[in-house]
A and B are shown apart, each in its own frame.
Chain A
Amino acid sequence: MVNFITSRYSRQGLWSLFLICAFPLHLWTLILSFRDVSWLMERTNAWDAIGVISYGLVFALIESVVIFLVLILLGLITPGQWETDRRISFLAFLVLITSVWAMISQLLFVWNVSLPEPAIEYLRHSAHPLRIMYATCLLVITPTVLLPAYSFLRTQKAVTVMQDLIERLSLLSMFYLVFDLFGVIIIIVRNF
């Protein structure tokens, strides 16, 4: 199994992929946890607010590892003739686009955006409102995944663009990992 994985990935590629997994998850955690700081400080104190952010970051790190492992397994079913860079770029793209959609779905609640009244009325009177909603989401999301994925199969340009993006985002992710380290230290201090 190890040999099979090393034949598909380089060590540098795996590290880049992990950093890309960590990027959206940490970014989202930081944005939302900073939104909570004021009420946390109001109800408790600054040290507890820092504690909540620290736990949040560590949970994000664990989530990043889980997503990273899932992606590695997913990468094993990509075509064998793909070179490592193409595989990493493709997987990085998958995690980023999925994260963007996950963020959008949560932002709808953060910004209190709801469906227009006629759409709600339509759903209310339909026999299968949930099915309709899922089908609509699928119709919107599928092309945003399939079209770029297709471009990875056809052109080298998509791979190059993705590699550039990975390089830039990796640097930011490294900062987040430093924050994680502080988070772990804070949690240890709080628990002992």
Chain B
Amino acid sequence: MSPRLNRRDFLKLASSLPLGFVIPPLAKAFHPLQPLQGNKKNVLVIVFDAWSAYHLPIYGYPRNTTPNISRLAERAIVYHNHYAGGNFTTPGTASLLTGTLPWTHRAFQSYDSVTQAFVNQNMFQAFKNHYRVAYSHNPLANVLLRQFSGHLNGYVPMSELMLTTDGLLEVLFENDEDIANVAWTRTAKKQEEGLEGHSYSLFLSELYQWYQEKKVAAFKPFFPRGVPNIEGENFFLLENAIDWLQEQVNQFPRPFMGYFHFMPPHSPYNTHRDFYGSFNNDGFKAPSKPQDIFSDGNPDKELRRRRVSYDEFILYLDREFARLFNYLESSGMLDDTWIVLTSDHGELFERGVRGHTPPLLYQPVVRIPLMIFEPGRTSRRDVYASTSAADVLPTLLHVTGETPPAWTEGTLLPPFSATEPQPDRLIYSLNAKNNDPAAPLTRATAMILSGSYKLQYFFGYKELGEGVERIELYDIESDPEELNDLYAKQKDTGADLLHQLKEKLKEVNQPYS
């Protein structure tokens, strides 16, 4: 039997207690890193889904949604006019991962894959001298990662970082997971978007719902709007994902190239209780805009409420990204790792639209954040030239000493290019959700941007009337809110941009005609 502690011994021991809090993080920080092979640096791409540049204070948003990222950006290259390839996950992520535009990679619709050629022409294949690892919270992006998994040294299944998962489906129906998942979702999940309240199953769905809620019950007090999830199921915590990444990043063989795609601030905007109510009644009021023909008819009041929730959700990702960044810094990894912080597309809270479902390419849904943290950089550099998601892949290859392949459609991002950026460079974005990927584009929305002029071209939509096209032209420098359509007023500019866009469409349709 051990002798009882006297008061003096107890106080001695108690004085060493704080060490217990300090030693584990220190030990973690000084965890021996895998040695770097050669001179190649690591690359870490962090994507936060549906994160609009419109909502960041460093791009002019009045709400302080990213206090930490704004601080960290003082050591980054900040791109102010960066555009996604499309307005939702599938085309946006495919553009980032292949360095091509949607009309080339052809991932148009939800759960689409890219065309066969890009199975061997993508970010993971291109970084063949790196250890390549990828994870996505988002099932749409996950379809692409699975498609590219032949070039991944570490493909992390989606279920790995979920609180509740249907991981068994991946095991049982490995070769037919997409369709098995659709059927399972239709069978067991009543909350799926567009199917609210009914399912193929009469009883199983009730049991499944009860089981899911029971599993996440412990986390509910931390998330007043509900535990973060994907379409009402697949619950997750960003903290868990960041903890996991911190743990893993030390163990990857080096140099590594990691792609990590996390769900916040994608809907549902279930922020942590620490940020709940942060922007309530703060006086900020976004400009009112007319309802769009493609909108879901959300009233302004509802959009304002949703915008608050979205902004509060961004605070959550801001804290977690900062936690990851601080860890990388304390572990010394920042010195030899390029970090790219970006998104796959943005989000709309205007014109009656909440989200990114309608075929609209207004600024908040296509203009996305891009920050590049260069190893050793201590000052901020702002880039105002227009850039595309397709530029990220060739740039990362270039800065890590690889040769950008000929198949990418992007160019080197400033300041890494030897030449000055062309002010009239054409930037494109596309929504062709209702177009067959194997057919020419006949029903889509295409965006072309040149300098400060941006043209949106809608064609093939029955909502517009048989054969009717919709064309809008904005000067986004003088009218960043896109309130004044100049197409009727500045006919020459509009006609010129439309001609260039139509020529491009003709060119990309050629192989499918």
Contact = CB atoms under 8 A, between A and B. Distances in A.
Interface of A: 24-25, 28-29, 32-33, 36, 40, 43-44, 48, 51-56, 59-60, 63, 66-67, 98-99, 102-103, 106-110, 187, 190-192
Given A63-B201, A63-B203, A51 B196 contact: no
Contacts of B27: none
B197 A109 contact: yes
B204 interface: yes
B187 A190 contact: no
Contact of B200 (A29, A98, A99, A107): A29
27 contacts: A25-B201, A25-B202, A28-B200, A43-B110, A43-B111, A48-B179, A51-B179, A51-B183, A52-B183, A54-B183, A55-B183, A55-B187, A56-B186, A59-B184, A59-B188, A59-B200, A60-B187, A60-B201, A63-B201, A67-B203, A98-B203, A106-B202, A187-B176, A190-B175, A190-B179, A191-B176, A192-B175
Q: Kindly name the residue among B111, B187, B206 whose own CB sees the greatest number of chain A CB atoms within 10 A.
A: B187
Contacts of B201: 25, 28-29, 59-60, 63
Contacts of B199: 32, 106
Interface of B: 109-111, 173-176, 179-180, 182-184, 186-188, 196-204, 206
B202 A56 contact: no
Contacts of A191: 173-176
B198 A59 contact: no
Given A28-B200, A44-B179, A110-B197, 8 more contacts: A28-B202, A55-B184, A63-B202, A67-B203, A106-B197, A106-B198, A187-B173, A190-B175
A55 B203 contact: no
Contact of A109 (B109, B110, B196): B196
Q: Kindly name the residue among B174, B186, B202 whose own CB sees the greatest number of chain A CB atoms within 10 A.
A: B202
Contacts of B175: 190-192
A98 B196 CA distance: 21
A144 to B, nearest CB: 16
A20 B109 CA distance: 40
A84 to B, nearest CB: 25
Contacts of B206: 102
Q: Kindly name the residue among B173, B188, B201, B206 whose own CB sees the greatest number of chain A CB atoms within 10 A.
A: B201
Contacts of B183: 51-56, 59
A107 B180 CA distance: 24
Contacts of A51: 176, 179-180, 183
Contacts of A44: 179
A47 to B, nearest CB: 9
Given A108-B197, A109-B196, A187-B176, A32 B186 contact: yes
B179 A36 contact: no
B187 A102 contact: no
B204 A32 contact: no
A165 to B, nearest CB: 18
Nearest to A59: B187
Contacts of B197: 106, 108-110
Contacts of B200: 28-29, 32-33, 56, 59-60
Contacts of B110: 43
Contacts of B180: 51, 55, 187
A36 to B, nearest CB: 6
Contact of B186 (A33, A43, A99): A33
A28 B109 CA distance: 29
A36 B186 CA distance: 9
Q: Kindly name the residue among A25, A36, A191 whose own CB sees the greatest number of chain B CB atoms within 10 A.
A: A191
Q: Kindly name the residue among B110, B175, B204 whose own CB sees the greatest number of chain A CB atoms within 10 A.
A: B204
A53 B180 CA distance: 10
Contacts of A36: 186
B359 to A, nearest CB: 15
B91 to A, nearest CB: 15
Nearest to A112: B197
A32 B179 CA distance: 16
A37 B144 CA distance: 24
Contacts of A55: 179-180, 182-184, 187
B179 A63 contact: no
B109 A43 contact: yes
Contacts of A59: 183-184, 187-188, 200-201, 204
A102 B182 contact: no
B173 A56 contact: no
Nearest to B207: A66
B176 A99 contact: no
A110 B111 CA distance: 25
Nearest to B197: A109
A33 B183 CA distance: 9
Contacts of B202: 24-25, 28, 63, 99, 102-103, 106
Nearest to B177: A191
Q: Kindly name the residue among A60, A106, A107 whose own CB sees the greatest number of chain B CB atoms within 10 A.
A: A106
A191 B173 CA distance: 6
Q: Which are the 5 A-B pairs with shortest beta-carbon distances?
A: A109-B197, A55-B183, A102-B202, A106-B198, A51-B179
A137 to B, nearest CB: 13
A51 B187 CA distance: 13
A52 B198 contact: no
Nearest to B198: A106
A121 B399 CA distance: 62
B204 A52 contact: no
A36 B179 CA distance: 13
B471 to A, nearest CB: 27
